[in-house]
Amino acid sequence: MSGLELYELRKELGITQSDLAKHLGYFSNGIPNRSMIARFENGHASINSRIEMLINQYAKDCKELADV
Classify strands 31-32 and 27-28 as parallel, antiparallel or unpaired. antiparallel
pLDDT at position 50 is 96
Q: Give the residue ranges of DSSP H helices in 1-68.
A: 3-13, 17-24, 34-41, 49-67
- Residue 32: per-residue pLDDT: 95
Q: What is the pLDDT of residues 33-59, one digit of tens each?
A: 999 999 999 999 999 999 999 999 999
Confidence of residue 65 (pLDDT cuts 50, 70, 90): confident
State the pTM of this model. 0.87
